[in-house]
Amino acid sequence: VKDPKNRISSTMGFWDICPEMRMNLEGLLKTDLPRILAVEFQSASL
C-alpha cells in the first residue's frame, strides 16, 4: 500500500511545476464552470 502523503506531495510537485496550468484551471473553474452548470440546470428544468 502506497503512503497517501506521498501521492499528495507528488501532486503538489506537479502544481509547482505547472503554475500557469493551475492558474488556467482556476480561471476555468471560476468563470466557465458556473456558466456551464447554469446551462445544464436550465436544460434540466425545461
How many Cα atoms occupy the beta-carbon half-sphere of 22 within 13 Å? 9
Q: Are 44 and 37 in contact (CB under 8 A)?
A: no
The Cα 4–Cα 12 span in angstroms is: 13
Q: What residue spans of 1-46 are helical by DSSP H?
A: 4-17, 19-45
pLDDT in tens, the chain (46 residues): 566 566 656 666 665 667 787 788 888 888 888 888 888 888 887 6
Annotated domain spans of the chain: 4-45
CA dist 26 and 33 (Å) reads 10
